[in-house]
């Protein structure tokens, strides 16, 4: 451009006319920029304005112009001077930043999860749209005078039975900076409590200082209920299988034992006839008595075979790391422990030698005793359901103690007997099989009650050869 002040119309600039600099301004920006400049020139105030100007390359770029009036001693405006500088990069960066913020907020608002944020000290400051819809209110709706927002909020939405655990875990995370993860019940807008899985993590700056806590809640109520229904169906199926097996076993026992008993009865009647005659036939009677003895032996063999079905004789003995075996048992029962809110405290003495056992059967013993304890403590208050498993060397063997905090055994003296049970639908075979397995490994299984409450099971296992110095 050769002349910024070239008149482009008959009217003066202050009267609405245009000057040559119009040709270098983006059409969409000129009206606003010129109107602001006229206002400043009429009032004598500084001009500060951003608009796009035309470069020699033919593209428009953003500039910021600052124009100030020059004044005489008496205050009259004698002229105007100013400067302009390229702010195009700043404008583009700012626009990109705003777009990034908009995109991130849209992501948080539309993500299929309940998202929330807290300050480093634990003050909730943000609920996503799904979180607001789930709860029925926004982050500040439950504020109370002189009560920390987090405390009033948790009291309004967390199930009373879960509130202490939630507070304890959150307090630990806020004190240590550790991640938070917990499954608990949370009140929905309609007043119903839903199971949710909540996770919370700290966002840190380059120096490692926490600048914000970001959390997410996933509604897993349907999943929990489906798991419960599946578990109930599995329990029903298992009970049906037990009933069918017991019925089948009973029929087999009746069929197998009936044959030698019928033979005994027939032979006894025949023997009675041979001996009841005027001239008793002793030789014939003796032969029948021999057959009666063989039939009785056959019945005894059948009973022994049935007993063997319940007496789990030990399989191959192998050197086994007891700590690893107990770890496998803990992993197998992780779901029942979590669902029942039962804690397991494992205390194995350091340096325990390996044991010579049938690992599968001993694992069955651990699982059976621990599962029974979990079921026995089902009616106990949450927080009091505790199991302790201890192991130590005693008299050349490994002694195992498993104790719970449940109501104890109704009849410790008979708890290990076959078909003895206090469960409504139990068969009374689990602990009897455990006793047979432990006895097959050379050690007794004992059961007794402990003070102030609970039951304890004790048994020993053989140490592998060369395992103890």
Residue with tokens 């439950």: 142
- Report the length, in residues, of the chain: 469
Q: Quote the pLDDT of residue 240.
A: 63
Residue with tokens 């920029």: 33
* Cβ contact 70:80 at 8 Å: yes
> Which residues does residue 183 pair with via DSSP β-bridges, in sequence order?
197
Residue 437: how many other CB atoms lie within 10 Å: 24
CA distance 329 to 318: 18
Q: Quote the pLDDT of residue 120.
A: 95
* Cβ contact 111:118 at 8 Å: no
DSSP letters, 323-349, are HHHHHHHHHHTHHHHHHHT-EEEEEEP
Q: What is the pLDDT of residues 267-294, one digit of tens each?
A: 788 778 777 777 777 877 787 787 777 6
* Cβ contact 415:292 at 8 Å: no
10-residue stretch averages of pLDDT, the chain, 469 residues long: 74 88 92 94 94 92 94 91 90 82 75 88 92 92 92 94 94 94 94 94 94 92 86 75 56 57 74 77 78 70 55 68 91 82 93 90 87 88 91 93 89 62 46 82 89 91 76
Residue 67, Cβ density class (10 Å: 0-12 exposed, 13-18 middle, ≥19 buried): middle
* Cβ contact 53:24 at 8 Å: yes
Helix/strand number for the chain, H first, E second = 11, 15
Q: Quote the pLDDT of residue 415.
A: 66
Token readout for 271 is 């023997």
* Cβ contact 47:37 at 8 Å: yes
* Cβ contact 291:262 at 8 Å: no
Q: What are the angstrom distances between the C-alpha of 229 and each of 224, 235, 286, 371, 430?
A: 9, 10, 65, 19, 24
Helix 282-310 × helix 221-276 angle, to 10°: 170
Q: Quote the pLDDT of residue 425.
A: 38
Residue 366, Cβ density class (10 Å: 0-12 exposed, 13-18 middle, ≥19 buried): buried
Which helix (H) or strand (E) segment is 215 a member of?
A: strand 210-219
Write the CB contacts of 54 (distance below 8 Å, at least 6 apart in sequence). Answer: 23, 24, 25, 26, 60
CA distance 288 to 262: 14
Q: How many CA atoms lie within 13 A of 408 on its CB side?
A: 11
Q: What are the angstrom distances between the C-alpha of 118 and each of 101, 104, 127, 138, 209?
A: 18, 17, 10, 13, 14
Q: Quote the pLDDT of residue 246.
A: 59
């Amino acid at each position: 451009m050769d002349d910024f002040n070239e008149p482009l119309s008959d009217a003066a600039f202050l009267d609405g006319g245009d000057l040559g600099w119009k040709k270098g301004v983006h059409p969409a920006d000129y009206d606003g920029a010129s109107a602001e400049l006229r206002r400043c020139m009429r009032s004598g105030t500084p001009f500060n304005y951003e608009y796009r100007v035309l470069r020699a390359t033919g593209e428009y770029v953003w500039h910021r112009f600052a124009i100030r009036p020059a004044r005489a001693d008496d205050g009259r405006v004698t002229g105007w001077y100013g400067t302009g500088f390229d702010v195009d990069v700043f404008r583009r960066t700012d626009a990109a930043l705003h777009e990034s913020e908009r995109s991130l907020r849209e992501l948080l608002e539309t993500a299929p999860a309940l998202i929330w944020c807290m300050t480093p000290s634990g003050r909730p400051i943000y609920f996503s749209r799904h979180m607001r819809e789930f709860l029925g209110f926004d982050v500040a709706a439950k504020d109370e005078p002189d009560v920390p927002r987090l405390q009033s909020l948790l009291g309004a939405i967390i199930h009373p039975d879960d509130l202490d655990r939630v507070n304890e875990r959150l307090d630990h995370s806020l004190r240590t900076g550790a991640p938070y993860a917990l499954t608990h019940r949370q009140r929905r807008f309609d007043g119903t409590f839903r199971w949710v899985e909540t996770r919370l993590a700290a966002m840190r700056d380059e120096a490692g200082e926490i600048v914000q806590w970001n959390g997410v809640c996933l509604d897993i109520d349907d999943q929990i209920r489906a798991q419960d229904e599946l578990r109930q169906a599995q329990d029903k199926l298992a009970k049906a299988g037990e009933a069918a097996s017991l019925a089948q076993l009973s029929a087999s026992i009746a069929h197998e034992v009936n044959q030698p008993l019928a033979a005994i009865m027939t032979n006894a009647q025949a023997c009675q006839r041979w001996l009841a005659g005027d001239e008793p036939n002793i030789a014939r009677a003796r032969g029948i008595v021999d057959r009666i003895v063989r039939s009785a032996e056959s019945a005894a063999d059948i009973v022994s075979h049935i007993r063997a079905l319940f007496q789990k004789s030990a399989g191959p003995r192998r050197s086994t790391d007891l700590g690893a075996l107990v770890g496998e048992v803990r992993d197998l029962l992780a779901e029942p422990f979590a669902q029942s809110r039962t804690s397991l405290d494992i205390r194995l003495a350091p340096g325990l030698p390996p044991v010579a056992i049938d690992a599968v059967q001993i694992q069955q013993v651990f699982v059976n005793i621990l599962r029974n304890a979990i079921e026995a403590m089902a009616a106990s208050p949450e927080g009091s359901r505790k199991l302790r498993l201890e192991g130590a060397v005693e008299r050349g063997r490994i002694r195992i103690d498993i104790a719970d905090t449940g109501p104890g055994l109704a009849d410790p003296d008979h708890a290990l007997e076959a078909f003895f049970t206090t469960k409504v639908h139990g068969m009374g075979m689990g602990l009897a099989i455990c006793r047979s397995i432990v006895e097959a490994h050379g050690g007794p299984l004992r059961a007794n009650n402990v003070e102030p409450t609970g039951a304890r099971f004790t048994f020993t296992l053989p140490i592998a050869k060369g395992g103890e110095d």
